[in-house]
Amino acid sequence: MRITNVLERSAPLDSAIRNAVIDFSQMTASCVAVVTDVVRAGKPVIGYGFNSNGRYAQGGILRERIIPRLLAANPENLLTDDGSNLCPFKAQQVMMANEKPGGHGERSVAVGTVDMALWDAVAKIEEQPLSRLLARRYNGSQLDERVYVYAAGGYYYPGKQLQGLQDEFRRYLDLGYDACKMKIGGADLDEDLRRIEAALKVVGDGQRLAVDANARFDVPTALQYADALQSLGLKWYEEPVDPLDYAAHAEIAAAYDGPLATGENLFSMPDARNLIRHGGLQADRDILQFDPVLSYGLVEYLRTLEMLESNGWSRRRCIPHGGHQFALHIAAGLGLGGNESYPEVFQPFGGFADECDIENGMIRLPNVPGIGIELKSDLMAVFDELVAGAKL
């Protein structure tokens, strides 16, 4: 078997929102299709991948470096030893040939996007949901039938008032979520506290509300917020400061009693390891949000999980950023603590299968081969367009 083509395009994300740091209206995502010569149900197997929100499409790096390396590789250097399926681990070695260490960003997104497509193809070729394949290979066949998800939103929409925030969170609860996350740091502390108070009235109590500063604060401001949030018993306080300022994390972790969450802007195992070594986080309290797609894919994420375990962290402390079906399969198959969800933003990339009920914050994965992108119609339309007319 072999890869016959790798297609890519950039697509816009539909998001007229901003967080404390950036405006998402110009955000794009790379879509990748890995076409194989394996036939299932009368058609060639195609794996689909796209990058999580927050980082831009990577068309240049994909077209100039990553895809040419895959297409130039000896096909057997991309296959399992028995030649029966694609091997994402070997593919990563091919994609990262002649790349220097360090500087993990952008490139990590390009590679991670292809990695998603490769795993989709691998599971389709095995005719299994990816979650089941991952559980069998990497988690002693322990599969979580349902995965915990929380609703991320609460952005600073232009002109949005407290009532708007409350209405938004009521919609999330009506959808079956039991916890919501809102942005902070885009206003001053007093206004944010009023927004938090309004949100708490809807969600019920602090354990059902997380807040996210998107790395905006300096240390004094982060500590001021920590002090003000302390008594609210929030689910977590996310990304108070620059993701790479580990010493600042340690200072905040020492001052704040509740759970901290961070990691979505660390894009490799070595970066994640530095957070664990130097960030002062607590393995029995804090949440790690490393995003597999933005970070060289599941191949690197497995390395990160191994690093975490060797440092005494349970996989259950991991709740990835990303809000899509790939991370959901990873959470189910590897026994993570849950997955982010964006019920109303980042379309068509945010979200799960069209027919996918959430109950008490738990979601059941559909039982189809691969990741299940085919079950999310607006997202599949993007990939249908990518593949239409291309050499299969």
What residues act catalytically?
A: 183, 321
Contacting residue, 85, 92, 108, 128, with a second copy by CB under 8 A: 108
Q: How many residues bind a second copy (CB under 8 A)?
A: 50
Which parts of 342-361 interact with a second copy (CB under 8 A)? none
Q: Name the CA dihedral angle for 218, 224, 229, 230, rounded to a multiple of 10 degrees.
A: 110
Contacting residue, 2, 40, 160, 273, with a second copy by CB under 8 A: 273
Contacting residue, 49, 95, 104, 327, with a second copy by CB under 8 A: 104
Does 251 interact with a second copy (rule: CB under 8 A)? no
Does 102 interact with a second copy (rule: CB under 8 A)? yes
Contacting residue, 222, 294, 318, 336, with a second copy by CB under 8 A: 294
**Cβ 199 to a second copy shortest distance, Å:** 23
Q: At residue 28, what are phi and psi to the nearest 5 degrees? A: -130, 165
Question: How would you write the chain as a 3-class SS string?
Answer: CCEEEEEEEEEECECCCECCCCECCCCEEEEEEEEEEEEECCEEEEEEEECCCCCCCCHHHHHHHHHHHHHHCCHHHHECCCCCCECHHHHHHHHCCCCCCCCCCCHHHHHHHHHHHHHHHHHHHCCCEHHHHHHHHHCCCCCCCEEEEEEECCCCCCCCCHHHHHHHHHHHHHHCCCCEEEECCCCCHHHHHHHHHHHHHHHCCHHHEEEECCCCCCHHHHHHHHHHHHHHCCCEEECCCCCCCHHHHHHHHHHCCCCEEECCCCCCHHHHHHHHHHCCCCCCCCEECCCCCCCCHHHHHHHHHHHHHHCCCCHHHECCCCCEHHHHHHHHHHCCCCEEECCCCCECCCECCCCCCEECCEEECCCCCECCHHHCHHHHHHHHHHHCCCCC
Does 74 interact with a second copy (rule: CB under 8 A)? no
Does 265 interact with a second copy (rule: CB under 8 A)? yes
Does 270 interact with a second copy (rule: CB under 8 A)? yes
Does 57 interact with a second copy (rule: CB under 8 A)? yes
**Beta bridge pairs of residue 340:** 150
Does 254 interact with a second copy (rule: CB under 8 A)? no
Contacting residue, 74, 98, 163, 360, with a second copy by CB under 8 A: 98
Does 312 interact with a second copy (rule: CB under 8 A)? no
Q: Which span (16-24, 151-159, 179-187, 334-342) binds a second copy, by CB under 8 A?
A: 16-24
Which parts of 132-151 interact with a second copy (CB under 8 A)? none
Q: Are 349 and 324 in contact (CB under 8 A)?
A: yes
* Best CA proximity match to 205, nearest among 213, 214, 196: 196
Per-residue binder mask for a second copy (CB under 8 A), 183-222, x = binder? -------------------------------xx-------
Does 26 interact with a second copy (rule: CB under 8 A)? yes
Of the two residues 270 and 337, which places its CB atom closer to a second copy in the complex?
270
Q: Which span (190-198, 229-237, 272-280, 356-364) binds a second copy, by CB under 8 A?
A: 272-280
Does 51 interact with a second copy (rule: CB under 8 A)? no
Contacting residue, 187, 219, 244, 307, with a second copy by CB under 8 A: 244
End-to-end CA distance of the chain: 14
Of the two residues 247 and 381, which places its CB atom closer to a second copy in the complex?
247
Contacting residue, 46, 266, 327, 365, with a second copy by CB under 8 A: 266
Of the two residues 57 and 130, which places its CB atom closer to a second copy in the complex?
57
**Cβ 10 to a second copy shortest distance, Å:** 8
Does 39 interact with a second copy (rule: CB under 8 A)? no
How far apart (Å, rounded) are the C-alpha atoms in residues 368 and 356? 13
Does 278 interact with a second copy (rule: CB under 8 A)? yes
Which residues sit at the interface with a second copy, rule CB under 8 A? 10, 21-24, 26-28, 54-61, 63-65, 97-108, 214-215, 242-247, 265-268, 270-271, 273-274, 277-278, 294
